[in-house]
Amino acid sequence: MHIGKICTEDAVCCDRTETVQGAALLMRKHHVGDVIVVDRVDGEARPAGIVTDRDIAVSVIALGLDPASLLVGDVMSDDLLVAEDQDDIYETIEHMRLRGIRRVPVVNARGALTGVVSADDLLEFLAEEMGELSRISGYQQTQEKRMRQ
């Protein structure tokens, strides 16, 4: 299955010139823990970085810096792991695990942002898969009973 099938399509994003406080307000408004920082290229949003609630807490608030005077471009993580919407889910999980990343922007073949996938999204998907797998035994027993009657 492709990662584009399970990503959250309504990724919250902003550009580099947004203030850190503005990004935090976007997180609050949309009930998310990250904002994808984008550059506009040919009318499309292309991921350039990401700012998480943890980034703001550790890199801004803990240091006593003013979130209203700092720009997102100054604090964003720009060593970005990006997944193409056609990438395999399990391959994406492996990349996330190796890099210790919990949120990944998802792009189309042109590099335009189409969504974001989080570790929580993947856990939900895997839990559903495990639930389906657990039903095999019961189904098998039912089939066996029918065949033996």
pLDDT (tens digit per residue) in 38-51 = 999 999 999 999 99
* Structure-block tokens of residue 46: 């292309």
Q: Which amino acid, residue 3?
A: I
pLDDT (tens digit per residue) in 20-38 = 999 999 999 999 999 999 9
Q: Domains in the chain and their CATH numbers? A: 3-118 (3.10.580.10)
Can you give the pLDDT at residue 136? 74
Instruction: Please determine, for residue 129, whether its predicted confidence score (pLDDT) is greater than 90.
Output: no
Q: What is the pTM of this model?
A: 0.84
Backbone angles phi, psi at 127, to 5 degrees: -65, -40
Contacts of 138 (CB under 8 A, 6+ apart): none
Residue 115 pairs with which residues in a beta bridge?
106
pLDDT (tens digit per residue) in 97-122 = 999 999 999 999 999 999 999 999 99
State the chain's maximal CA–CA distance in angstroms: 76
**DSSP H or E run through 50:** strand 44-52
